[in-house]
Amino acid sequence: MIRIDSVTKRYPDGTVAVDRLSLDIPDRAITVFVGPSGCGKTTTLRMINRMIEPSEGTILIDGKDILKEPVNTLRRSMGYVIQNAGLFQHRTIIDNIATVPRLLGWDKARARDRARELMGRVGLDPALAKRYPYQLSGGQQQRVGVARALAADPPVLLMDEPFSAVDPIVRKGLQDELLRIQDELGKTIVFVTHDIDEAVKIGTKVAVMRTGGRLAQFAPPAELLTDPADAFVEDFLGADRGIRRLSFFPAAGLPLLTTPVVAVDATAEQIAARATPDVPYLLVTGLDGRPLGWGEPHTLTAGRIDPARLIGHGRPFEHATESLRAALDCAVLSPTGWAVAVGADGRVTGVVSQQTVAEAIRSAHAAAPADEKAAR
């Protein structure tokens, strides 16, 4: 565990970048520092690997004061990733990734084998190994940066706005990849961002900092969204805090109706039997069980329903794995006001009305959010 104990950083010009910061960074989890620009995030991160020394206070790793450790030993135990990856432009991708193992004295073949293994781990095509950084996209370069930081298998990974310079879609991919890598490798990750959505998505615990380097709140994301400590945190979390909080409640508890679902070859009797006064539309599925669209019962031709004449069903949600937020989104976007639930195989498992989703949301307000994040 990394313990930051009453740490202050005052720069020579008098700027107090970090002010009596105390917090415990848990092992094998992702701790995120988030806050507006200039609030002291980078300064804090760099004090952990001693690129910057604190003016006051101590930082302990597993109970030992880092100022009493040789700085090289300390840095070797910490991978460091920055925005724009900071790759060596004159070295190939594989040699960039092999940098630290080579510094540690590994022979070239072993270091390159390790680099190739890491390319796979961070989702890079091995065919890119011989290229130079300028021949890669921003997202690919960022993956190289992560692979390079992991090369010597350090227990700690420090990441300073690593994904801030890439576009939103690539960024989402990088975030998902980091969560996957973390599941596999169980590193202690300290991650800096100014983006609260990113913090909530990837953080096991999130430290919200305010200008002047003071800690506003340190809590798991669901707790931040439920119980912001003050107006600053609430403001920083943004206007759709309540909706984002629903990400932490599974959709699995939603009761599904299977009555208003018919197959594309349904008989007249089946259509008549499934049309009920409280459900004005029937969901039609293909013979493979996947959703095709909605239709009013009297418009459906028995035996051979025409998919082209159905109303689109929108994106379905996966009942077992997704969140109430996904179900709500689905119901809100559905032209019929009903959301379509599917299993992992994409087959329809039932439908649920906006009203039922709303009732589940009301019970969620009273309940504590789950520790485990449901998929969003």
Ligand X SMILES: Nc1ncnc2c1ncn2[C@@H]1O[C@H](COP(=O)(O)OP(=O)(O)O)[C@@H](O)[C@H]1O
What is the C-alpha to C-alpha distance for residues 85 and 298, in angstroms, rounded to an integer? 60
* Residue 194: CB minimum distance to ligand X, A: 7
Calculate the CA 323 to chain-centre distance: 14
Q: Which residue is nearest to Mg ion (CB)?
A: 42
Task: By CB under 6 A, name the one of 38, 86, 155, 173 that touches ligand X.
Answer: 38
* Residue 17: CB minimum distance to ligand X, A: 3
* Residue 41: CB minimum distance to Mg ion, A: 5
Which of 289, 255, 251, 253 is CA-nearest to residue 373? 251
* Residue 363: CB minimum distance to ligand X, A: 39
Interaction between residue 42 and Mg ion (CB under 5 A): yes
Among the listed ranges 42-50, 110-118, 146-154, 179-187, the one in contact with Mg ion (CB under 5 A) is 42-50
Count CA atoms closer than 13 A to 259's CA, side-chain side: 13
Q: Which is nearer to ligand X, 22 or 258 (CB)?
A: 22
* Residue 195: CB minimum distance to ligand X, A: 12
DSSP 370: P
**Sign (positive/negative) of CA torsion 366, 368, 373, 374?**
negative
What is the C-alpha to C-alpha distance for residues 270 and 313, in angstroms, rounded to an integer? 21
Buried b (16+ CB within 10 A) or exposed e, 311-335: bebbebbbbeebbbbbbbbbbeebe
Residue 38 binds which entry of ligand X, Mg ion, none, CB below 5-8 Å type-dependent: ligand X
Q: In what order do the strands lie in the sheet with 291-295?
A: 261-263, 282-285, 291-295
Q: Which is nearer to ligand X, 39 or 124 (CB)?
A: 39
Interaction between residue 42 and ligand X (CB under 6 A): yes
What is the C-alpha to C-alpha distance for residues 191 and 157, in angstroms, rounded to an integer? 8
End-to-end CA distance of the chain: 29
Interaction between residue 15 and ligand X (CB under 6 A): yes
Residue 72 binds which entry of ligand X, Mg ion, none, CB below 5-8 Å type-dependent: none
Interaction between residue 44 and Mg ion (CB under 5 A): no
* Residue 190: CB minimum distance to Mg ion, A: 13
Task: By CB under 6 A, name the one of 43, 92, 349, 356 that touches ligand X.
Answer: 43
Q: Which is nearer to Mg ion, 164 or 270 (CB)?
A: 164
Interaction between residue 37 and ligand X (CB under 6 A): yes
Whether the CB-CB separation of 40 and 18 falls below 8 Å is answered with yes
Whether the CB-CB separation of 233 and 226 falls below 8 Å is answered with no
Interface residue list for Mg ion (CB under 5 A) = 42
Interface residue list for ligand X (CB under 6 A) = 11, 13, 15, 17, 37-43
